[in-house]
Amino acid sequence: GESVGLHLPTLSVQEGDNSIINCAYSNSASDYFIWYKQESGKGPQFIIDIRSNMDKRQGQRVTVLLNKTVKHLSLQIAATQPGDSAVYFCAENNNDMRFGAGTRLTVKP
């Protein structure tokens, strides 16, 4: 069946470096994608979204890239900080919202 998945379950980066979190999706009809961040003891928090008519969108220190040809979504975090340590989920929407399993980002001081 269709699924949303993540390439890596964990990612460890040095403070100040850039982070890239990847997500693969298999439903080519999905038209809306969202990245969420979940810190310990909290619910997922919206970071950034992108619609299928775009291939790049930038926020504050974050950029989402969408490659519809290979059904790939990535989240880039610039100058990663300790406060960025969390689990990051991608979600795709095609009549309903489906989430990936998540990638745990750890930032080393």
Partner 1 sequence: ETGVTQTPRHLVMGMTNKKSLKCEQHLGHNAMYWYKQSAKKPLELMFVYSLEERVENNSVPSRFSPECPNSSHLFLHLHTLQPEDSALYLCASSQGLNEKLFFGSGTQLSVL
CB 91 within 8 A of CB 44: no
Of 69 and 96, nearer to partner 1 (C-beta) is 96
CA distance to 39, 73, 98, 100, per residue, from 24 (Å): 22, 6, 12, 9
Q: Does 26 bind partner 1 (CB under 8 A)?
A: no
Q: Does 54 bind partner 1 (CB under 8 A)?
A: no
DSSP 3-state assignment of 5? Answer: strand
**Distance between CA atoms of residues 23 and 17, nearest Å:** 20
Q: Does 1 bind partner 1 (CB under 8 A)?
A: no
Of 45 and 81, nearer to partner 1 (C-beta) is 45
Q: Which of 24, 27, 49, 61 binds partner 1 (CB under 8 A)?
A: 49
Instruction: Write out the residues near partner 1 by the rule CB under 8 A.
Output: 4, 32, 34, 36, 41-46, 49, 89, 93, 95-102
